[in-house]
Amino acid sequence: MKCAPDHSRATSPALAVKPRLIRHLFLPPLILLLTIGLGYAGYRASLYSGIRGLDESGERQLELNGRAVESEINKYTFLPSLLELEHSVSDLLADPDAEGRRQAVNDYLEGLNRRSHSSAIYVLDTTGRVQASSNWRDANSYLGEDLSFRAYFQDAIRGQDGRFYGIGTTTGEPGYYLAHGLEEHGKIVGVAVVKVRMESLEERWQKARLEAFVSDENGIIILSSDPARRLKSVGPLTPETKERLARSLQYYWFSLTELQPLERETLADGVERLSFPAAGARPGSQREVSYLAQTRELKDTPWHFTLLTPLQDLRREAIIQGVLVAVAFALLAFLLIAWNERRKVIATRLAAREALQEANSQLERRIAERTENLRASNERLKSQIRERRQAEETLRHAQDELVQAGKLAAIGQMSTSIAHELNQPLAALRTLSGNTVRFLERGALDTASTNLGTMNQLIDRMGRITASLRSFARRGEDRGRASLTQAVDATLQVLAARIGAQGVSVHRQFSEAQLAIGQTRLEQILGNLMGNALDAMQQVTAPALWLDGDTLDDGRYRLRVRDNGHGIDPQTRKHLFEPFFTTKPGEQGLGLGLTLSASLAAAAGGSLSAEHPEEGGTAFVLTLPPLNAQPPTSAVEPS
Ligand code: ADP
């Protein structure tokens, strides 16, 4: 399985750090901003949907309460027109100064006013002067007052129904004035006016905890559940309007100010959102109360009824919903971030696992390749070992052949000397045997016997020569196993008689070594060397023989056989290893000892050389391979 190359991993660390840093720097404030923004949006949405719901339910309330206001107002509509039917009234208007007429009307109006629960009922003549009034008993009675300036009088005198809300100039009390032109024979002879107090409506609203107000044609609040809003203008008042209203004395001398909400927002036609300072809140404080203000016209009047529905609960609910939205978003953002982090961790783990698998499979591939290579090289090695063994076998065989050939060559080289060495005794034997025959024929038995003794000696010498050569030429004993100690002991034992006779002190300074040479061969060499040493020390007063052994750096074993004999003169040294070279007199030396010893050492992979110490005497150095050493690879030079 191969991993798709990940380009992001290829980017330099400095570049890789930047987006992460930006993310870490900007993500938290961004999430915070989004949380706040969404929370606010949730709050607004909840508020508006709540307002819409309230709007619908408020519409019904508005209708119900509007109707109640209308019925309250219209309850008295017919009352002024009733006076048209009253003769005393028309009589009074026809002749106001006639005796008792005014009082009769006053009494009538007083009784009517009491029964109808109105505030006051009075009758004006065509000039606008009050001719009779229900409150004729009161100190501030309207009687005799000129109310021609009142708009309701002016409307009524023109034959229209006068509707007017105002504050009485006499009593200073607010009231709703309903005026009706009293006709007689198709002519208006006076005006009947009913003043109604509408505080009962306000009381009813307050009891029902309903917040509402009624504004008149000038936009002035004439009825309000909250007395503080009374006689406030719902809209802006121009200076001209203010002046006009002041002149009309409609609102007496009350200064008219604008109802100033903290906030006003038009939501739909006749629907507004208004915020007022909370009741009891200090001016400038942040506490406020919001209302949904729904306004409708009141039938038969130019007035408007406004219902105020508090939005406080709605607002609280909207805040809760906004907070919920913000919390939900924050949670979602947190979950998203957590999910994203987890996704990244999983992706990293997956990538690491894939990389590990890839590394594993690469490793396995490499191991398989290496194993294959190793197997191949093992095979090669095995075949090389086989070849080498074969080569070694061939070499050993060749070496054996060569040693043998070398020995034969040595014998070949020696053959002239041998022939010479053997011919001499043979010639002497022929002469001696001929002479002996003749001496026997002559009867000279003593001489014949002496000759035969000489002949025996000659034959012995010839036997020794051939024995030496035979043992040298024998195949197979060149390699083997020899114990140095055993060989030295055996040799010293053979020579023990001579050593004792000559009083030679033997110094052994070697340790046991197993050498790669036949035991007999080693004893043969040691016998030659030690025999020669004894020969050389015959004339020495304190003869001594040193046998020193040590192992050379290349692993071969070295044995030095040293004596303090007469030594070898430089002339003789050149011929030491030549066959049949001897300095020994008569029958004492054959001159084959060193030649054969050197050949035997060489056949075993070793060597033999002579040293001539300055202090005198001679040392022969024999080196031989140890038993566990590799067999020599080079051919041995026959000596
Ligand atoms: P041979 O002993 O029969 O003479 P070798 O080949 O053994 O034959 O010795 C050759 C000659 O080397 C000897 O005759 C002798 O002169 C000389 N030689 C050998 N060993 C010694 C020795 N240890 N000290 C002095 N001369 C020696």
Residue of the CA atom closest to atom 23 of ligand 1: 533
* Contact predicate 55/268, CB 8 Å: yes
Q: Which pLDDT band holds residue 2 (cuts at 50, 70, 90)?
A: very low
- Band (pLDDT 50/70/90 cuts) for residue 202 is confident
Nearest CA to ligand 1 atom 26: 568
The per-residue pLDDT for 5 is 44
Using a cut of 0.75, tell me whether the model's pTM lies above it: no
Percent of the chain with pLDDT over 70: 88
Residues framing ligand 1 (Cβ under 6 A)? 528, 532-533, 536, 563, 565-566, 568, 572, 576, 581-584, 589-595, 618
When the pLDDT of each residue in the chain is averaged and rounded to a whole number, the result is 84
Q: Are residues 403 and 467 in the same domain?
A: yes
pLDDT at 3 over 50: no
pLDDT per position as a tens digit, 180-191: 999 888 889 999
pLDDT surpassing 60 at residue 13 = no
Distance 532 CA to ligand 1 centre (A): 5
Pocket test for ligand 1, best of 498, 532, 535, 540 (most atoms within 8 A of CB): 532
CA distance 115 to 102: 20
Q: Are residues 517 and 629 in the same domain?
A: yes
Domain for residue 1, yes or no? no
Does 52 reside within a domain? no
**Is 506 inside any structural domain?**
yes
Domain membership flag for residue 370: no
Q: What is the mean pLDDT of residues 613-622?
A: 95
pLDDT confidence of residue 6:
45
Contacts of 142 (CB under 8 A, 6+ apart): 120, 122, 130, 133, 135, 170
Same domain for 221 and 135, yes or no, is no
Tell me if 353 is assigned to some domain.
no
**How much distance in Å is there from the Cα of 590 to the middle of ligand 1?**
9
Most confidently predicted of 290-299, 436-445, 563-572: 563-572
**What digits encode the pLDDT tens for the residues 269-300?**
888 888 887 766 565 556 778 888 899 898 87
Q: What residue numbers bound the domain in which 252 lies?
A: 203-279+286-313
Which of 52-66, 73-87, 399-413 is predicted least confidently?
399-413
Quickly count: other Cβ atoms within 10 Å of residue 450's Cβ.
Answer: 14
Residues 6+ apart with CB under 8 A from 98: 91, 92
CB burial readout 456-486, b (16+ within 10 A) else e: eebeebbeebeebbeebeeeebbbbebbbee
CATH number at residue 601: 3.30.565.10
Residues 210 and 175 occupy one common structural domain? no
Task: Write down the pLDDT at residue 617.
Answer: 95
62 pLDDT band, cuts 50/70/90, is confident
Task: Enumerate the β-bridge partners of residue 266.
Answer: 272
**β-pair partners for 174:** 167
- pLDDT tops 90 at residue 614: yes
Nearest-5° angle of CA 599, CA 578, CA 505? 75
Any idea what the CATH number is for the domain that residue 302 is in? 3.30.450.20
Residues 389 and 490 in one domain: no
Q: Is the pLDDT of residue 634 over 70?
A: no
Residue 52 has a pLDDT of 81
What is the chain's Cα-based Rg? 78
Same domain, 433 and 495: no
Q: Using CA atoms, how far apart are residues 73 and 65, in angstroms rounded to an integer? A: 12
Calculate how far, in angstroms, residue 516's C-alpha sits from the geometric centre of ligand 1.
Answer: 26
Q: Is residue 9 part of a domain?
A: no
- Would 188 be classed as within a structural domain? yes
Are residues 486 and 631 located together in one domain of the fold? yes
Q: Best mutation site among 468, 469, 537, 582 for ligand 1, i.e. most ligand atoms within 8 A of its Cβ?
A: 582
What's the CA-to-centroid distance between 576 and ligand 1, angstroms?
A: 7
Helix (H, G, I), strand (E, B) or coil at 141: coil
The reply to whether 397 and 490 lie within a common domain is no
In this predicted structure, what is the pLDDT of residue 635? 35
Domain boundary among 457, 474, 491: 474
Closest CA to 145 of 168, 156, 134, 129: 129
Instruction: Please tell me whether residues 530 and 584 are part of one structural domain.
Output: yes
Instruction: Find the length of the chain.
Output: 639
Query: What pLDDT shows up at residue 27?
Result: 81
Q: Considering only 92-106, 161-175, 197-211, which range has the smallest mean pLDDT?
A: 161-175
Please tell me the least confidently modeled range out of 60-69, 130-139, 521-530: 60-69
156 pLDDT more than 70: yes
Closest residue by Cα to atom 8, ligand 1, is: 591
Residue at which a domain ends, from 196, 222, 243: 196
- The answer to whether residue 64 is domain-embedded is no
Residue 582 Cα to ligand 1 middle (Å): 6
Asked if pLDDT for residue 513 goes beyond 60, the answer is yes
Model confidence at 609: pLDDT above 90: yes
Last residue of a domain, one of 458, 474, 490: 474
Q: What is the pLDDT of residue 110?
A: 94
Stretch 418-440: mean pLDDT, rounded?
Answer: 81
pLDDT at 4 over 50: no
For atom 13 of ligand 1, the residue with the nearest CA is 582
The answer to whether residues 515 and 453 belong to one domain is: no
Closest residue by CA, ligand 1 atom 7: 593
Do 500 and 588 have their domain in common? yes
Quote the number of domains for the chain: 4
Residue 133 sits in the same domain as residue 96: yes
